[in-house]
Amino acid sequence: MQPAPRYQTAGRRALAFAIDALVLAALHTLLEGMIRLSPHALLSVPLAIAYSGFGVAYSVCMHARFGQTLGKWIARVRVVPVKGGQRITYRQAILRDIVPCLLLPVALWYSMAFAVGFAPEPALYQAAWNLAWLWAILELLTMMLNDQRRAIHDWIAGTVVVRVA
């Protein structure tokens, strides 16, 4: 069954994802360079914290404040509550990113270890990376299998992505 035009967002969401990935990759590259050039752990540890948490913070804050990230704004889609209202709450924004939030401690630990010159065991990081990929695949599958194109995180948070006029 073809979704209503308002919910035909798969291509636009892919574009938004690509734009946001480029924005975050540029920032991560800048922060990683600053960490590598940092002369002391007092500077590199806060940079590592920023490196680990910026992606989740960007997504949560932008969705809660504007209903969209820079990528969604360019792609002309917005996250809205399923049950009325124009803006989602911070609680809904956090719930949309619950899996990245739960994986954040692993990324934070790994980045801080890197920042102070410690080589952590990669098994935990690899397990978290594999879980993130599995989550992404499940998100795509659920998004394609319902009329409103809601991914798992939309069901958890009570949100839906719609086209912006």
Residue 137 has a pLDDT of: 93
What is the rounded distance in angstroms from the CA atom of residue 114 to the CA atom of residue 136? Answer: 26
Find out whether 153 and 10 touch, Cβ atoms under 8 Å. Answer: no
pLDDT (tens, 9 = 90+) of the chain, 165 residues, equals: 567 888 889 899 999 999 999 999 999 898 888 877 877 767 777 877 887 888 999 999 999 999 999 999 999 999 999 988 789 999 999 999 999 888 888 877 777 777 777 766 778 778 888 888 899 999 999 998 998 999 999 999 999 999 998
Decide if 93 contacts 64 (C-beta within 8 A).
yes
- The CA-based angle 13-19-22, given to 5 degrees, is 140
Question: Model pTM?
Answer: 0.85
Strand partners, 81: 159
Predicted pLDDT at 1: 59
Residue 26 and residue 36: Cα distance in Å, rounded?
15
Torsion angle defined by CA atoms of residues 21, 9, 154 and 84, in that order, rounded to the nearest 10 degrees: 130
